[in-house]
Structure 1
Amino acid sequence: MHASDIHILAVGTALPGPAVDNAALARRFGMEAVWEQWIDVFIGTRTRHLSVDLDSGEIRSSLAELATAAAGRALAEAGLAASDIDVMVLGTATPDVLMPATVNIVADRLGINELPTYQLQSGCAGAVQALDVASTLLATGRHRTALVLGGDVSAKHFDLDVDLRALSPEELVNFVLFGDGAGAAVLSTEPVSGSVAIRAIVNRLTGLGRAPGQVIEWFGLADRHADRPAASEDYKMIEESVPVMAGEILTELLDGLGWDADDVDYLLPPQLSGRMTARIMRTLDAPRAQEITCVHETGNNGNALPFLQLERALPKMAAGDRAVGIAVESSKWIKAGFALEKI
C-alpha cells in the first residue's frame, strides 16, 4: 500500500454499440425458452455492450478505438491537451494484438510521442494496477501528469456459430457475463479545485499454490486447431472466493489509513455480475456507504469497470467525502483496491 499526493483530475469512458439485452442475446443463439430466465436468475445482468455485431459478426470496435475515445473524453474533462501527458499506462486482459502494444496505438492516435508507455497484462485488477504504476511513477517527481487506461474487448472470443447447448457451464457463462468497454483517468501531482486525492492503493498477488479461477487462451499457427476452449472459468470458485477477498481488501485499506467503516461515503465493489455484486455488498462492512454499481447495464467489461464506477462516483462527491474501490483478479487471484478523498 502507498499513499501520496496524487490526484485524479478527470475520468472518461467509452462503450461500443447499443446495449444488448438478454432477450436479444437469447434470440441470437436460439435459447429463448430457458436462457433469458437463467441469465436473470443466476447472473443478474440486464444488458451489455459488445464490440461484435450479433447479426453480421462484424467487429465494430477495437480496444484501441475505445481507449482512444475514453482518453479524449478524460483529457477534455480535465482541460488538458494530449501533449500535456508525461506518461501512459494501460491495463487489459485483451490487447488487440500481442505486438505492438495497444497502449502505443492509443498514444499514436492521440498524437502523443516521446514519453514512457506501459502495458500491463491483467484481468479485473488491471485498472487498479495501472493506477498503482502511474501513481508510483508520478511520486518519483520525474513526471507531473499521467494518462491511465483500462479496458477489455472480448469480440475475438465470441463464436456466433457455436451450439451453446453443447458447452460446459465454464464456457457458457462467458456468453452472458461479459461486455466490452474502456476507461481513462488523468492523474496529476498538482491538485485543482474539486480534484480527488488517491490516499491508498492495494495491489498484491495472492495466488501462490491456487488453481486459476479463469483462463483465457491465445493460439498461434502451431496450435490454432487445438480443442481446448478459448475462455473458461470456475464460476463456483469465484463465487466462493471473491466476497471473502473483497472484505479483506476493504479491511486492509481502512486499517492502513486509520479510517472507520462509517467514514466511507461511497463504495465501488467488484463488478462480476449483478447477482455476484449484490452478494459481495452484503458481506462488506460499510454501513453508510452509497454503492456505485454499473454491471447491470454494462456487463462485466473487465478493466473498464473501475473507470465506469468512478465516472458515476466523482460528480457525487463533496469536499471531505471518501470513496473506496475494490477489484479482484480471479485468474491467479490478485487483491486490488484504492481509497480516495475529495479535497
Structure 2
Amino acid sequence: MTDVQVTIAGTGSYLPGDPIDNDRLEKLVGTLPAEVLDGIQVRRRHWMIDPVDGAHLTSNSRMAEAAARRALAHAGIEPEEVDLIVLSTASPEFHLPTAASYVQEHLGLERCALIEVRAGCVGAVQALDIAFRQLADGTHRTAVVIGAEAISPLLAPMFLGRDPDAVRMRDRLTLFNFGDGAAAVVLRGGSDTGTHRYGYVNACLGGHRAPGMRVIGGGTDIPLHEQRNRKRLIDIALDANGVAEYGPRVFVTALRELLDRSGLRLEQIGACVLPEGNAEYFTREFADAGLSEADFALLQTLVVENLADVGATGSPAVLLALDDGLRGGRVRPGENVMLLAIEASRYVYAGLALRWPETVGK
C-alpha cells in the first residue's frame, strides 16, 4: 500500500433559520448584564427550533447534509463520488443509527464508509485527521468531513412557557452562548498537488479535573426511572468560571505542542482558525497561562473565528470559521494554517497544521 496525496477540495456551511440577535433573545429569555454580554461576545446565533414555540424547523442530519452539499458543490464533486463520511456531533437525532448514516441516506448513497465522532469543538479537527489518514493510505478516495450540532432543542426547556424575568441567570448565560449549524470539508485522494500536512495533536487534560461542561440526561448515568425526577430531562451544565480559569492553559499547551510537532514558528502562520478565539472570557488569562505578550499580540492578528455571528456551536465551530475565513479572504492560498480547538467538556484539545492549497473549489 503506497501513500497518496490528499487535498482539500471544497468547504461549505449551513446555518438554520434567520439570525436571532441579542435584542430578540432578550425578549424571550431576559437580559444579561452588559459586561457579561461583552465578555461572551456573541451578537447573534441561529437555532434549528422556532424560538417562540420550540418546533423543530430542521434536524441535525439535514443541516449536515446541507453543509455537505454546499462543500461538494464548491469542490465540483458529485455526491455519488463520496465513499467516506466522517461526522462529528454531540447532538444526533438518535443514539443509533448514527447521524452519519442519515446523511448518507439524504445524499442518496446506497453504500458508503461511515465514521462518527462524539465530541464538541474538537470533533471536526479529529474527524479531519481520520479522513486525511484514510485517504492517504488509499482506503478511500473522496471524503466529506462534517461537524453538525443541534443545541437549541436542549435550550428550549429553559425558557419556553416561562416569564423571561423568571429564567435563571445561569440559564441565560447558556442561552445567549449557543447556536446551531453545520459545516463541511471535502477531501480528495490521488491529487497531483496535495495539501501539505505538517502535524496533528490531540489530548485530554481534564483527567483530574471536574468537567467544564456536561450535557446531562438521556444516558446511562442513573436509571431512566430516576432520570424522570430531574427538573429537566436533558440539561446543560456549564462551569463558566472553571473554563475561564483553565481553558487558556489548555489552549496554550495545544498551541505550543502543535507548533513543536509541525516544526513551524508562530511567525510562519498565516491563519489560526479557532472556535472562539476572541472571546474576552477566554483570552484574558493567556498571559498567566504562559503565552508571552509578543506572541499574544501576534496571535490576535492571525485569529480566524466567527463566534459573534454564530455563537458557540460545538462540532461545526472550527469548520464554520474556516469556511467563513476562506470566503472572506482571511484564509489565503499557500499560507500555513492551524486549525486549533479546545473543548470545555473535559478540557480536550485537537490541532491540525497544514499549508492551504493554492486552489480550493472548482
Q: Which contiguous aligned blocks of 4+ residues in structure 1 show a shift greater than 6 angstroms?
A: none
Alignment match of 1:325 (pick from 316, 339, 342): 339
Q: How far apart are the structure 1 equivalents of 2:196 and 2:74?
A: 17
Q: What amino acid does structure 2 have at the position aligned with 1:335?
A: Y
Instruction: State the partner residue of 1:227.
Output: 231
Q: Which runs of no fewer than 5 residues in structure 1 stay unpaired?
A: none
Residue matched to 1:206: 205
Q: Give distance in 2, aligned partners of 1:109 and 1:13.
A: 16
1:95 pairs with 84, 92, 95, which one? 92
- Return the alpha-carbon distance in structure 2 between the equivalents of residues 164 and 232 of structure 1: 20
- Identify the residue that residue 302 of structure 2 maps to in structure 1: 290
Instruction: After TM superposition, list the pairs within 5 Å mapping 1:150-189 onto structure 2.
Output: 150-157=147-154, 158-159=156-157, 160-162=160-162, 170-189=170-189
Corresponding residue of 2:360: none
**1:307 lines up with 2:319 in the alignment:** yes
Q: Over the residues paired in the alignment, what is the CA RMSD in angstroms?
A: 2.6
Aligned residues: 337
CA contact (8 A) 1:273 1:299 kept: no
Which of residues 240, 243, 249 in structure 1 aligns to 2:254?
249
**Alignment partner for residue 259 of structure 1, among 241, 264, 269?**
264
Q: 1:331 to 1:68 in 2, by over 3 A?
A: same
Whole-angstrom distance in 2 between the partners of 1:103 and 1:111: 13
Instruction: Give me the identity figure in percent.
Output: 30
2:70 is paired with a residue of what secondary structure? Answer: helix
* The one of 102, 106, 119 aligned to 1:105: 102
Q: Which moved more, 1:153-162 or 1:13-22?
A: 153-162
2:117 is aligned to 120
Provide TM-score, normalisation by structure 1.
Answer: 0.89
Aligned partners of 2:170 and 2:214: how far apart in 1?
10
CA contact (8 A) 1:8 1:196 kept: yes
Letter in 2 for 1:148: V
Deviation at 1:269, TM superposition (A): 2.6
* TM-superposition CA deviations, 1:184-221 (whole Å, max 9, x none): 1111223377x744332222222222211111023375
Is the contact between residue 275 and residue 321 of structure 2 (CA under 8 Å) also seen in structure 1? Answer: no
Tell me if structure 1 keeps the 8 A contact 2:254–2:350: yes
Distance in structure 2 (CA, Å) of the matches to 1:273 and 1:17: 25
Q: Residue 143 of structure 2 corresponds to which residue in structure 1?
A: 146
Distance 1:260 1:274 in 2: 24
Cα gap change, 1:258 to 1:48, in 2 (>3 Å): same
Letter in 1 for 2:77: L
